[in-house]
Amino acid sequence: MTAWEEPVTRGTAPRRTALHLKVLALALALAAVVLLGGCGSAATTAGSGADASGGVAATGAATQAPSAQPTAEPSPARTPKTPQSTPSATPTGSTASGGAGKGASSGVTTVVFVDVGQGDASVVKSGSWTGLIDGGPPGSEPAIEAALAKLGVRRLNAVVVSHMHADHTGGLSRIVSEWRPRTAYLAGTPTSALAGDLRGAGTTVVQARRGATLRFGSARAEVLSPAGLSGDANSDSVVLRLDAGGKSFLFTGDCTGPNEAAVGSICARGTPIDVLKVAHHGSSYSTTSAVLADTRPRVAVISVGPNSYGHPTPATVGRLLAAGSRVYTTWRNGSVTFTVSATGAMSVSFSRSSQPVKKATAAGSGGESDGGAAAGTAAGAASSRASGGTIVYVTRTGECYHADGCRYLSSSRIPIALKDARDKYRPCSVCDPPI
Ligand SMILES: [Zn+2]
Ligand SMILES: [Zn+2]
């Protein structure tokens, strides 16, 4: 375990322990149509969703959208019929039944980027409140449940589904059915299978929109995106900024394009991000230099595993390193666990290597260990060559691929099979490489 060096002075979030206060607040919010712009940007839709027994409150622009509301909960404050124990959790979860015996950890927030291979699954535990952000690709259930067990979690309060792609939802069916989270936050319509699982579990579905603030135990999570739905699942990813003990985590799903830029400009107004969950597994089309300049992440975690997309791309890793971030990947480091004390001291531990990524080399077989990355690419290139494939070149930070000899290859020149380059890079307009 590596201790973070800096002392942090910010205290814990204010606590409210009386359930009736919360119900009153909810009633006021519903009656008065309170506008709470969580992050200073357009909170255009009022409304609130709250989970009186799950320790979660969504204020601001998180709306119960009837059209995309498969569970059709008439009132989010009403206790759904689930086998969960008597609602006793407060917003801070300090008396939550599921956290019995864990009172000593109240005020401590733990974030685990679970090693689920190529996909995303993150556990957030704040005191006795626990949430899961994405459910990894199919087959992730054992890894997720092992992470929950390791934290002593017996109750899952909420799930956040960043978007409906299988590498984020694959393990959710069983998790939702078995753990019966009280609340699911998502943007847009869930797949019919997930909608059925959520309905079966009695889970309240809350549409997350920019401007909403969600209570994750003693931590707060602001929804930074989407403001609306574009129809592109990756772009519409739910993006959350979690603040706990003075430390900030940015969960980005597979966000990209204008929405990612908007997230950047919101973050630019605040303090640097302590831990960035890198968008889209390190795709070159996300995590732009501009977004990095805005978010200034101290640590970046890429949730990624063996894949055919070339994730994480050398371009993205290069941009992160250039931005001064310490870079970990679940592929290389295994599950990555951050623990933030109530006073803001942060530590990190790993289920595998503790060595951060030092070079922006292409991923591939063996590519997640020092020195092996280039070998991975070279091996890929060699096998491609052997099979008659065409080799082109990319750079550490560029978005394009090039023919040998292109002037853009002066600083770095990484061979890559054309068939792989086509997926992730644009052909250079100067050297006109094969397409
Ligand atoms: Zn996606
Ligand atoms: Zn994804």
* Per-residue pLDDT at 432: 73
Is residue 286 pLDDT above 60, yes or no?
yes
Residue 361 lies in a domain: no
Largest CA distance in the chain: 71
CA of 107 to the centre of ligand 2 (A): 31
125 and 244 assigned to the same domain: yes
CA of 183 to the centre of ligand 2 (A): 22
Lowest-pLDDT choice from 128-137, 165-174, 331-340, 407-416: 407-416
207 and 278 assigned to the same domain: yes
Nearest ligand by distance to the CA of 311? 2
329 and 403 assigned to the same domain: no
Residue 98 lies in a domain: no
CA of 392 to the centre of ligand 2 (A): 26
* Per-residue pLDDT at 174: 97
pLDDT, one tens digit per residue, over 358-379 is 999 876 534 444 333 333 333 3
Is residue 304 pLDDT above 80, yes or no?
yes
CA of 140 to the centre of ligand 1 (A): 16
CA of 92 to the centre of ligand 1 (A): 32
The arithmetic mean of pLDDT across residues 87-107, rounded, is 38
The neighbouring-strand residues paired with 276 are: 250, 300
As a whole number of angstroms, the distance between CA 207 and CA 186 comes to: 5
What is the b/e burial string over 315-350, where b = at least 16 CB atoms within 10 angstroms of the residue's CB? bbbbbbbebebbbbbbbbbbbbbbbbbbebbbebeb
- The domain of 34 spans 2-73+103-350
* Per-residue pLDDT at 332: 97
CA of 29 to the centre of ligand 2 (A): 35
285 and 402 assigned to the same domain: no
Which chain residues have CB less than 5 Å from ligand 2, an ion? Answer: 167, 254
Residue 113 lies in a domain: yes
Residue 363 lies in a domain: no
Cβ neighbours of residue 302 closer than 8 Å, sequence gap 6 or more: 278, 281, 282, 311, 312, 316, 317, 327, 328, 329, 330, 331
pLDDT, one tens digit per residue, over 243-261 is 999 999 999 999 999 999 9
Is residue 398 pLDDT above 60, yes or no?
yes
Lowest-pLDDT choice from 57-66, 115-124, 323-332, 369-378: 369-378
Place of tokens 């020092």: 370
Is residue 420 pLDDT above 90, yes or no?
no
As a whole number of angstroms, the distance between CA 93 and CA 56 comes to: 9
284 and 407 assigned to the same domain: no
Tell me the pairing of strands 49-51 and 56-59: antiparallel
CA of 167 to the centre of ligand 2 (A): 5
Nearest ligand by distance to the CA of 118? 2
pLDDT band with cut points at 50, 70 and 90 for residue 287: very high
Residue 150 lies in a domain: yes
CA of 8 to the centre of ligand 2 (A): 33
Is residue 122 pLDDT above 90, yes or no?
yes
pLDDT band with cut points at 50, 70 and 90 for residue 418: confident
Cβ neighbours of residue 78 closer than 8 Å, sequence gap 6 or more: 52
Is residue 81 pLDDT above 80, yes or no?
no
What number of residues does the chain have? 435
Tell me the pairing of strands 213-216 and 204-207: unpaired
Top pLDDT among 138 and 390 is at 138
As a whole number of angstroms, the distance between CA 393 and CA 411 comes to: 12
**Of the candidates 124, 103, 99, the residue with the CA atom closest to the CA atom of residue 113:** 124
Nearest ligand by distance to the CA of 137? 2
Domain boundary at 301, 317, 350, which?
350
CA of 250 to the centre of ligand 1 (A): 17
158 and 258 assigned to the same domain: yes
Domain boundary at 350, 383, 400, which?
350
CA of 116 to the centre of ligand 2 (A): 12
CA of 232 to the centre of ligand 1 (A): 9
As a whole number of angstroms, the distance between CA 263 and CA 252 comes to: 9
Q: Which two tokens stand for residue 67?
A: 């059209």
CA of 257 to the centre of ligand 1 (A): 13
Query: What is the overall mean pLDDT for the chain?
Result: 77
CA of 165 to the centre of ligand 2 (A): 6
Nearest ligand by distance to the CA of 280? 2
Residue 94 lies in a domain: no
Is residue 233 pLDDT above 50, yes or no?
yes
422 and 293 assigned to the same domain: no
CA of 118 to the centre of ligand 1 (A): 11
Nearest ligand by distance to the CA of 134? 2
Nearest ligand by distance to the CA of 307? 2
402 and 300 assigned to the same domain: no
CA of 19 to the centre of ligand 2 (A): 37
CA of 368 to the centre of ligand 2 (A): 19
CA of 280 to the centre of ligand 2 (A): 5
Q: What is the pTM of this model?
A: 0.66
As a whole number of angstroms, the distance between CA 105 and CA 125 comes to: 10
CA of 281 to the centre of ligand 1 (A): 9
Is residue 395 pLDDT above 70, yes or no?
yes
324 and 262 assigned to the same domain: yes
Nearest ligand by distance to the CA of 136? 2
CA of 111 to the centre of ligand 2 (A): 19
Q: Under DSSP, is residue 119 helix (H, G, I), strand (E, B) or coil?
A: coil
pLDDT, one tens digit per residue, over 195-216 is 999 999 999 999 999 999 999 9
Q: Which two tokens stand for residue 426?
A: 């644009």
Highest mean pLDDT among 37-51, 98-112, 349-363, 378-392: 349-363
Domain boundary at 318, 350, 382, which?
350
Provide the number of structural domains found in the chain.
2
Residue 10 lies in a domain: yes
Residue 432 lies in a domain: no
The arithmetic mean of pLDDT across residues 275-298, rounded, is 98
Nearest ligand by distance to the CA of 237? 1
Chain centroid to CA 180: 21
* Per-residue pLDDT at 54: 32
Top pLDDT among 108 and 371 is at 108
Nearest ligand by distance to the CA of 283? 2
Contact by Cβ (8 Å): 142, 121: no
* Per-residue pLDDT at 390: 77
- Angle subtended by helix axes 192-200 and 172-179, to nearest 10: 10
Q: 414: which DSSP letter?
A: E
CATH of the domain at 193: 3.60.15.10
CA of 89 to the centre of ligand 2 (A): 33
231 and 160 assigned to the same domain: yes
CA of 391 to the centre of ligand 2 (A): 27
Contact by Cβ (8 Å): 279, 305: no
27 and 171 assigned to the same domain: yes
CA of 3 to the centre of ligand 1 (A): 33
Is residue 224 pLDDT above 60, yes or no?
yes
Lowest-pLDDT choice from 71-75, 226-230, 279-283, 343-347: 71-75
Q: How would you class 152 by CB atoms within 10 Å of its CB: exposed for 0-12, middle for 13-18, buried for 19 or more? A: middle
Is residue 22 pLDDT above 80, yes or no?
no
299 and 407 assigned to the same domain: no
CA of 100 to the centre of ligand 1 (A): 36
